[in-house]
Chains A and B, each alone.
Chain A
């Protein structure tokens, strides 16, 4: 007899009843994605670990506040993102990650030259505005839809669309330059 793997929705339902097993299963399923997202966002592994821990603490305590059980993953990333932004604000001026303070003076090429030795895409992401980077992480690394990203970030759907377009433009520009220099 084939035993069907419980979905996130089933696990969240069990978690609401206080099931530790459900909590552990949810953690095992999402820990790597969440940790990867936070460490890329914060560029600090220790802080990322704290953020993921705090996020799962919130999951354990506040699972009952989640209205749409099917959107658990989006909700969890939203919680983690919020905590990561707060952590970053404490660490340094968090203006970098807020939408209001997007810098227009980033020159992908000059930043690229400084980080020539670094890994490709991760470093390219550091060349664009932090708010754009956040959206690219959610879209390309975590495969969220535009609607889910809008939910997680609190942006409108058209804003998500436009910011992702600008992010891709900036990345493509940096990417082409990098390849050009390699040749």
Chain B
């Protein structure tokens, strides 16, 4: 038996069990076309699987019916009660998706509104009055020699 055959046998089992992807199936069928030993393995496994499927089930005895039926009658109080939260989650209150979305948006919007109301609004900047002092300077007239300066050197 080649290594290829060993690998193929592994894939054959997965293939017969319906647990192999298309690519694997193609590889198996290509190999089966040229390998009698693997074809024989395929046939044997398939045959056994069919026999298992057709093998008669052993039915449960009637005595078991009575025993199990008494469980619900006798053990009503022994059941583990669901906690309030688990009860809510596990019983899966079916809320249609659109209703759930609207409800979620409403809650979000409400939350945002409340948050907005609580945030202090920014106060407008106060006007600052800066006093301006105007000083009127007296006018000075310049007369005489001061109007034309003398040259420093002659």
| A residues neighboring B (CB under 8 Å) | 13, 16-18, 20, 23-24, 27, 31-36, 39-40, 45, 49, 52-53, 56-57, 60-62, 64-65, 67, 120-122, 124, 136, 139-141, 145-146, 161, 164-165, 168-169, 171-172, 175-176
> Does the CB pair B80–A65 fall under 8 Å?
yes
> Does the CB pair B79–A18 fall under 8 Å?
yes
Q: A64-B90, A165-B13, A169-B9 are in contact. Are A32 and B52 (CB under 8 A)?
A: no
> Does the CB pair B52–A61 fall under 8 Å?
no
Minimal Cβ-Cβ distance residue in B for A141:
B52
Query: Which residues on the B side are within 8 Å of A171 (C-beta)?
Result: 45, 48
Minimal Cβ-Cβ distance residue in A for B55:
A121
- Indicate if B57 sits at the interface (CB-CB under 8 A): yes
A16's partner among B47, B53, B82 (CB-CB below 8 A) is B82
| B residues neighboring A (CB under 8 Å) | 9-10, 13-14, 17, 19, 41, 44-45, 47-49, 51-53, 55, 57-61, 63-65, 67-69, 71-73, 75-76, 78-82, 86, 90-92
> Does the CB pair A49–B61 fall under 8 Å?
yes
For residue A182, give the distance in angstroms from its CB to the closest CB of chain B.
14
Minimal Cβ-Cβ distance residue in A for B67:
A53
> Does the CB pair A53–B9 fall under 8 Å?
no
> Does the CB pair B82–A172 fall under 8 Å?
no
Query: Which residues on the A side are within 8 Å of B91 (C-beta)?
Result: 13, 16-17
> Does the CB pair B79–A140 fall under 8 Å?
no
For residue A34, give the distance in angstroms from its CB to the closest CB of chain B.
8
> Does the CB pair B48–A172 fall under 8 Å?
yes
A56 and B65 alpha carbons, distance in the complex (Å): 11
21 interchain pairs (CB within 8 A)? Answer: A16-B82, A23-B71, A24-B69, A27-B65, A31-B60, A32-B58, A35-B59, A36-B57, A40-B58, A45-B58, A53-B68, A57-B71, A60-B71, A60-B72, A122-B55, A139-B17, A140-B49, A165-B10, A168-B48, A171-B48, A175-B47
> Does the CB pair A61–B78 fall under 8 Å?
yes
Query: Which residues on the A side are within 8 Å of B78 (C-beta)?
Result: 61
Minimal Cβ-Cβ distance residue in B for A169:
B9
> Does the CB pair B68–A146 fall under 8 Å?
no
Q: A16-B82, A33-B57, A172-B41 are in contact. Are A61 and B75 (CB under 8 A)?
A: yes
Query: Which residues on the B side are within 8 Å of A64 (C-beta)?
Result: 79-82, 86, 90
> Does the CB pair B45–A161 fall under 8 Å?
no
> Does the CB pair A23–B13 fall under 8 Å?
no
